[in-house]
């Protein structure tokens, strides 16, 4: 049935429009077990993301400490030669 014929039927005077039922999509059942499993999965993803962030921060700090140690060793060597 085309849109034009539906509109004609809807706007005819004195007649009630014919409403065709819409097929409902099947909804997955949400059980307490599945809901808590989804919550645990989401929390684990969050924890893993935070661990990745901490790992990146640790690596950055480690690199900065290495540079500081090299600089201090260079300063110590210069001071030892000149002193």
pTM score, two decimals? 0.50
Question: What residue segments make up the domains of the chain, in order of their start?
Answer: 31-83
CB count within 10 Å of CB 6 equals 13
Q: What is the pLDDT of residue 28?
A: 66
Q: Which two tokens stand for residue 64?
A: 């900065």
User: Per-residue pLDDT for 8 more than 90?
Assistant: no
CA distance linking residue 63 with residue 61, whole number of Å: 5
pLDDT at 54: 94
For residue 17, is pLDDT > 60? Answer: no
In tens, the pLDDT along 24-51 reads 767 767 677 777 888 889 999 999 999 9
**pLDDT over 70 percentage in the chain:** 66
């Amino acid at each position: 049935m085309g849109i034009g014929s539906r509109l004609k039927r809807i706007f005819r005077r004195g007649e009630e429009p014919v409403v065709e039922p819409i097929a409902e999509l099947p909804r997955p059942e949400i059980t307490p077990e599945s809901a808590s499993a989804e919550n645990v999965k989401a929390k684990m993803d969050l924890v893993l993301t935070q661990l990745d962030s901490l790992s990146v921060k640790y690596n950055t700090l480690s690199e900065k400490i290495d540079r500081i140690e090299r600089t201090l060793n260079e300063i110590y060597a210069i001071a030892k030669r000149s002193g």
